[in-house]
Amino acid sequence: MNAIIADAEQALPEDAAVLISVAPGPAATAAVVPKRRARIPEKDTRVTAQPGFVLHSYPHRETSLIIDVFTRDYGRIALVAKGAKRPMSKLRGVLQTFQPLSLSWSGKSEIRTLIAAEWVGGLLPLEKSALLCGFYLNELLVKLVARDDPHVALFNHYVTTLNQLAHLEPAPIVLRQFERALLKQTGVAGDFTRCTSSRQPVDPAESYVVDPERGPRVARAADSWPRVSGKTLLDMEQEDYSDVATQAQSKVLMRFLLAHHLGGAPLNTRQILIDLMQL
């Protein structure tokens, strides 16, 4: 079975016109009336030819889609693809997951308007178990990456990971590397090289637990968190998963850390992977 189964201010006018109104009597009174200010054009919010990937999409009204995309320079954003569900729409066959796209959009509201999407190419399609792993990556990005928060390094790592999966590199190792990179790039990954309780470098021969908010500390008898060796922590920091023990311990540790940062929200694809592939 191992081969089966992504948020006016108005200024008071600085000048004014004088309106003369004549009232009974010898004197006229002058009233100051604001002059209408010229409309200031809105800043152009159009973005063109931005590299990105579709993470998720869902129907919007009768003929459109809302697509959640992960872009290189703008992070994760939502776009409305008008008419994308129509049979003759050019977008219909383009807005596919795991395909490198060149995206253009306009607007400044939470949901922008897609103007154009073009397939760029350069990646092999994901198949079988690699496809399910790809959906797992997308679910992590949708649930852990905030909207409109650019992560160029994470975007590049995502592209690399898709390429590794497409070339059938070992999924457990590829996924551990991406999970760790995701937590690092979103600012919630601790330093695995230093013990927070002793303030000393991690000892490869010592047993540790990892506080999701602080980092590693020496394991205690009463700890219910996953125990990992210092060697595993150091291996993970170096992205070295060649040791079988490191592979096994890192799998349990990353599952624990991700569950914490997800706030208990389930990962649908992860559960399938656990059940069918034991990742």
- Per-residue pLDDT of the chain in tens (279 residues, 90 and over written 9): 444 443 333 332 333 333 333 344 444 444 444 444 544 444 558 999 999 999 999 989 889 999 999 999 999 999 999 999 898 888 888 999 999 999 999 998 899 999 999 999 889 999 998 999 999 999 999 999 999 999 999 999 999 999 999 999 999 999 999 999 999 999 999 899 999 988 899 999 999 999 999 999 999 999 999 999 999 999 999 999 999 999 999 999 999 999 999 998 888 887 776 676 555
Distances (CA, A) of 145 to 49, 88, 139: 22, 33, 10
Alpha helix positions (H), 203-278: 230-237, 244-261, 268-277
Q: Beta strands of 35-171 (E only): which ranges?
A: 47-60, 64-71, 75-81, 101-106, 111-119
State both tokens at 190: 């601790």
Number of C-alpha atoms within 13 angstroms, CB side, residue 122?
Answer: 11
Identify the structural domains of the chain with CATH numbers, from first to last. Answer: 48-119 (2.40.50.140), 128-277 (1.20.1440.120)
Q: Are 12 and 37 in contact (CB under 8 A)?
A: no
Distances (CA, A) of 157 to 72, 137, 171, 178: 11, 11, 15, 7
Beta bridge partners of 66: 58, 80
Predicted TM-score (pTM) of the model is: 0.81
- The radius of gyration of the chain's CA atoms, rounded to the nearest angstrom, is 27
